[in-house]
Amino acid sequence: MCPPTRLRILDYLRKQQTATVNELSSILAMTGANVRHHLTVLESNDLIELVCQRQEGRGRPVNVYGLSLRVLGDG
């Protein structure tokens, strides 16, 4: 049985440090909207945070997410 989606997102961020919606979408084989929903829930529970935004070509900047300081701890 696969671990729940939010745990998979947290595990990926723990290993890679940062990720965008597009990266997570392709890794999890989910739509961007579905990934954004899970990211919103994780962010509202202070498990992840928006690290930065980067411009990739024209259009809106891309949000880059990482684990929050609460999850990372003091170390």
pTM (2 d.p.): 0.88
- Six-digit token pair at 72? 């990372």
1 — pLDDT class (breaks 50, 70, 90): very low
Residue 25 CA to residue 46 CA, distance in Å, equals 21
- Determine phi and psi for 54, rounding to 5 degrees: -130, 145
pLDDT digits (tens, 9 = 90+) for 15-72: 999 999 999 999 999 999 999 999 999 999 999 999 999 998 899 999 999 999 877 7
Confidence (pLDDT) at 72? 75
Residue 1 CA to residue 8 CA, distance in Å, equals 12
Confidence (pLDDT) at 47? 94
- Six-digit token pair at 27? 């890794």
Residue 2 CA to residue 11 CA, distance in Å, equals 13
